[in-house]
Amino acid sequence: MDKKHRKHKMKVVEGKRNRVDFPRKDHREEYAAEVAPPVDVSARRVDEDKADVSTGRTVGYVGLVLGIASLFMWSVILGPIAAVVGYYAYSKGSKTTGAWSIGLGILATLSYFILIPFSR
């Protein structure tokens, strides 16, 4: 060994050299968590929650309008659509308008099938 290798206690490998990346292959550490910058997740979740509430409210009012319209026209078409839109609004957090949309949609659809025999 020459002086340089003895001083730093490095091995001298004769013959074919294998590539050794840093960190060395005999160490199994993972550095991703220490190197990555911290991420603020709470700010994103608050923004998503606000968007979901406004989406649920808007869809709830659309379902309510469809439910009211289904009482007067196209009951068999607008009624189920109002019920489905109302269920979506209910699942997004707009419980009151979603429930009213579901109720009006079901009422309009059932009243169509019950009252249609009397009109012919």
For the chain, what are the domain ranges? Answer: 55-120
Neighbours of 111 (CB within 10 A): 14
For residue 106, give the amino acid letter.
Answer: I
- The answer to whether 60 and 98 are in contact (CB under 8 A) is yes
**Which CA distances in Å does 42 have to 12, 39, 45?**
52, 9, 5
Mean pLDDT for each consecutive 10-residue tract of the chain (120 residues)?
59 61 59 63 59 75 92 91 92 89 93 84
pLDDT at 118: 82
For residue 68, count CB atoms less than 10 angstroms from its CB and return exposed for 0-12, middle for 13-18, buried for 19 or more: middle
pLDDT at 54: 74
pLDDT at 110: 92
